[in-house]
Amino acid sequence: MKKSARVVVIGGGIAGCSTLYHLTQEGWSDVVLVERNDLTSGTTWHSAAQVTNFGMNQTMVGLKSHSINLYKELANDPDHPINYNHADGGIRLANTEEQMQGYRHFASMAKGMGIDFEVIDAQECQRRHPLISTKNLIGGLWDPHDGDIDPYQLCHSLARKARKAGAEVYTDTPVTALEQYKDKTWKVTTENGDIDCDIIVNACGYRVNEVGAMMGVHHPVASMEHQYFLTEDIPEIAQAGHRMPLLRCPMSDYYCRQDKGGLLIGFYEQNCKTWGMDGIDPNFVNALCPDDLERVADVLDGAFERMPALMNAGIRSIVNGPITYTIDGAPLVGKIPGKENAFCIIGLRAGLGEGGGHGWLLAQQIVNGEACYDTWCLDPRRFTAHANVEMTSLKAIEDYQNEFRFHFPHEHRPAARKAKTTSLTPIMAAENAAFTVINGWERVEYIKPSEDFHPSLSFHFDETFDIVAKEIINIRDNVGLCEVNGFNRFEITGLDAENFIDRMFCGNITHKPGRVGLGYLLNDFGMVKSEATIANIPASDRGSTRIWYGSAAASEFHDMDWLTQHINADEDVHIKSLTNDQTILIIAGPKARKVMSACSRDDWSKEAFPWLSVRECFIGFTAATVMSVSFSGELAYEVHVPNSSLYAAYLALSESGKEFGMKIFGSRAVESMRLEKGFLSWKTDLLTEFDPFETGLDRFVNLKRITSSEKLPFKSVLKMAQNRSLSASALIALTPLPMAELH
């Protein structure tokens, strides 16, 4: 066994094999995979192995398309072809108009990725899948590329190709310990010896937290038991004369594909079960959980009704195995929060279909620092300190029970709520607030007209439209108050803090005491990485001169990683997160100045406190830091207060606001106003797939400053500007070179 390698991938399921293969495709051959038993001996060997193209966003659709194209290539390998039933097609059924609207939405989104889904009626569903009845069916979504693959052959094919490119695979080699050296490289201890390496990848499936514990990390991943059965041959399938398409039913929560002359039917029962919460038997290898068809009886009835031919089919075998889940159902693929040179590809619940694509995007991140798609929806840093296995298990149960029911816009499901609250949460609830969840924080969405108000879920404007409009009108005419909790806030201090900020941002950022600036951070390819406000707070009895860096609520781990990894060894820069310590109260509207004046002795006139100013003051008797900035487009103040005095500040502001008609507004009003104003939102409009010019941020880029220093991490901006007619993502797609060659 090798004594050292550039990367050690731990785990030989689809996640590990795909990562290893794609690392070699990116040009890294000094890479190793270590597997405690045999390849595929975790979940992968018994997967139903359906490969679909459907995804909730463009990154998911794109990565699944990559899987499909890769699997086709592997299936057609002249020396070692593998079994891949490609393009049997698949139908997602619908029995409500809202589901059909959702399918139309997804079909239109996928079209932008070059994938042609089709929305079809009930009769067409039946024509394409002759075993189904049209009873209580409106129609469905047709995915032309759906199919299924042999998981064992797939992983061995990927490993074989990786080996051919120089990688090594060691089976029967359990990893027993991980140690990080001072220089941030790793020692991987296995039962067969140690391997020193630059980078480690956790691809350990349901044993993710055994390996996580070896490096002091608690990954928010939990496992559920999941069952399918295989039937004897069904004569109706033979009569149809073609392979049956895949089927997914959101009414009765089952999926189905053809297997030999019969069907494979998998169930997502309501009475579902977590697995392995109190540890996993070390001998659970190539193993299954005990059958329990009783548990799926409710779902089975729905499947029988939809496919009557099933009732006469004998069951050939039953499979019950662990499947991993995360808090939002999407896997964790990328950098491990708070760790250097450590990545993960975990929490895969549709790993066979997606694994090809996830390994592709992860290898790009490892080798180039970024992938060709924006990978925020997969980024392990999208959850912060509140995320743990206990919470994940509750969300996993909820997700499992709603497996094929997609989230509607503004749908916030109830499991594991109230993870992060402030002293105002019950106050807002008493005001009839509807809450949304942002990075675990309960944030007011809008004020409901009555306690039992429940808007319908759909892709159309709903009953909340007029409610939100009223909140906005009051801000336009009077003044509103909005609590923004969990807003990301770092305090940056040190002798080199200003230089550091200059280096990290692509434009000029003011360092004038008492002034606030907005700026953008770009990645190594000159693409938009983050957006932040920089507030320069002068020294006072509350502290020495300091910079406050404010960015999107979910960006805490992401931005902290990016900033800290760019502090040079000889720089005096200190970054402290205040995200969980401070909350913002926004006062917005033409009468905002009057409200501030009524509860604070400072001069709030335009002259004394102009736009983009910051000052320390008192709101009532509460020490606050106030900025004159606005995300709504109206005159507005951000009142930053420590959480311990949030309620006192709220009382003072509410009292002063009374005579000016101040009302509470929520995040939906903010979203509407910022759209109207054309303000951009991180990870909605600001993506790593676009450079600042494509994003419309020309005025925030100082090309002169950027080209004057070779040390800048975003030296490719100039090149991007010169290539304005061709976006960087297009460049990546067109060039046969690995991304790093783009520099």
Ligand X SMILES: Cc1cc2nc3c(=O)[nH]c(=O)nc-3n(C[C@H](O)[C@H](O)[C@H](O)COP(=O)(O)OP(=O)(O)OC[C@H]3O[C@@H](n4cnc5c(N)ncnc54)[C@H](O)[C@@H]3O)c2cc1C
Tokens of 193: 């010896």
Is 147 or 517 the residue whose CB approaches ligand X more closely?
Answer: 147
Q: Which among 467, 527, 554 is positioned nearest to 743, based on CA atoms?
A: 527
Q: For the CB of residue 682, give the shortest distance to ligand X in the complex, in Å.
A: 29
Q: For the CB of residue 199, give the shortest distance to ligand X in the complex, in Å.
A: 16
Between vectors from CA 376 to CA 74 and to CA 29, what angle results, nearest 5°?
Answer: 40
Q: Which among 499, 502, 521, 562 is positioned nearest to 717, based on CA atoms?
A: 521
Is 156 or 591 the residue whose CB approaches ligand X more closely?
Answer: 156
Concatenate the DSSP letters of all residues of 81-144 into one string.
---EETT--EEEEESSHHHHHHHHHHHHHHHTTT---EEEEHHHHHHHSTT---TT--EEEEET
- Torsion region of 79: left, alpha or beta (phi above 0 gives left; psi -120 to 50 gives alpha): alpha
Cα distances (Å, whole numbers) of residue 417 to 272, 441, 475, 674, 675: 20, 9, 29, 27, 28
Tokens of 196: 């020193």
Tokens of 708: 């004057």
Is 211 or 635 the residue whose CB approaches ligand X more closely?
Answer: 211
Specify whether the CB–CB gap between 433 and 447 falls below 8 A. Answer: yes
Is 275 or 609 the residue whose CB approaches ligand X more closely?
Answer: 275
Is 205 or 245 the residue whose CB approaches ligand X more closely?
Answer: 205
Specify whether the CB–CB gap between 158 and 21 falls below 8 A. Answer: yes
Is 92 or 420 the residue whose CB approaches ligand X more closely?
Answer: 92
d(C-alpha 115, C-alpha 107), whole Å: 8
d(C-alpha 556, C-alpha 438), whole Å: 12
Q: What is the CA radius of gyration of the chain?
A: 27
Specify whether the CB–CB gap between 67 and 38 falls below 8 A. Answer: no
Is 179 or 603 the residue whose CB approaches ligand X more closely?
Answer: 179
Q: For the CB of residue 401, give the shortest distance to ligand X in the complex, in Å.
A: 16
Q: For the CB of residue 207, give the shortest distance to ligand X in the complex, in Å.
A: 4
Residue found by looking up tokens 């609520």 in the block: 553
516-522 sheet: strands from edge to edge: 516-522, 528-537, 546-551, 488-493, 574-577
Q: For the CB of residue 66, give the shortest distance to ligand X in the complex, in Å.
A: 14
Report phi then psi at 67, rounded to 5: -55, -50
Q: For the CB of residue 298, give the shortest distance to ligand X in the complex, in Å.
A: 18
Is 347 or 526 the residue whose CB approaches ligand X more closely?
Answer: 347
Is 205 or 220 the residue whose CB approaches ligand X more closely?
Answer: 205
Tokens of 546: 């300091």
d(C-alpha 486, C-alpha 583), whole Å: 7
Which residue intervals of 416-512 are DSSP H helices? 425-430, 464-477, 497-504
Specify whether the CB–CB gap between 143 and 92 falls below 8 A. Answer: yes
Q: For the CB of residue 357, give the shortest distance to ligand X in the complex, in Å.
A: 11
d(C-alpha 712, C-alpha 290), whole Å: 57
Q: For the CB of residue 1, give the shortest distance to ligand X in the complex, in Å.
A: 13
Q: For the CB of residue 470, give the shortest distance to ligand X in the complex, in Å.
A: 46
Between vectors from CA 626 to CA 571 and to CA 495, what angle results, nearest 5°?
Answer: 15
Q: For the CB of residue 41, give the shortest distance to ligand X in the complex, in Å.
A: 5
d(C-alpha 391, C-alpha 380), whole Å: 15
Q: For the CB of residue 282, give the shortest distance to ligand X in the complex, in Å.
A: 10
Q: Say how many CA atoms lie within 13 Å of 118 toward its Cβ.
A: 14
Is 63 or 434 the residue whose CB approaches ligand X more closely?
Answer: 63
Is 34 or 424 the residue whose CB approaches ligand X more closely?
Answer: 34
Residues that bind ligand X (CB under 6 A): 10-16, 34-37, 41-44, 46-50, 174-175, 203-207, 210-211, 226, 228, 266, 319, 321-323, 348-353
Q: For the CB of residue 291, give the shortest distance to ligand X in the complex, in Å.
A: 12
50-51 and 193-202 strand pairing: unpaired
Between vectors from CA 157 to CA 154 and to CA 160, what angle results, nearest 5°?
Answer: 150
Is 321 or 517 the residue whose CB approaches ligand X more closely?
Answer: 321
Report phi then psi at 540, rounded to 5: -155, -175
Is 46 or 420 the residue whose CB approaches ligand X more closely?
Answer: 46
Specify whether the CB–CB gap between 322 and 225 falls below 8 A. Answer: yes
Q: For the CB of residue 47, give the shortest distance to ligand X in the complex, in Å.
A: 3
Q: For the CB of residue 28, give the shortest distance to ligand X in the complex, in Å.
A: 20
Is 44 or 65 the residue whose CB approaches ligand X more closely?
Answer: 44
Specify whether the CB–CB gap between 735 and 742 falls below 8 A. Answer: yes
Q: For the CB of residue 348, give the shortest distance to ligand X in the complex, in Å.
A: 4
Is 319 or 497 the residue whose CB approaches ligand X more closely?
Answer: 319
Q: For the CB of residue 52, give the shortest distance to ligand X in the complex, in Å.
A: 7
Is 36 or 339 the residue whose CB approaches ligand X more closely?
Answer: 36
90-94 and 246-249 strand pairing: parallel
Is 21 or 690 the residue whose CB approaches ligand X more closely?
Answer: 21
Cα distances (Å, whole numbers) of residue 692 to 375, 521, 531: 18, 9, 11
Q: For the CB of residue 67, give the shortest distance to ligand X in the complex, in Å.
A: 9
Tokens of 315: 């069951």
Which residue intervals of 369-510 are DSSP H helices? 389-401, 425-430, 464-477, 497-504
Q: For the CB of residue 329, give the shortest distance to ligand X in the complex, in Å.
A: 12
Is 47 or 536 the residue whose CB approaches ligand X more closely?
Answer: 47
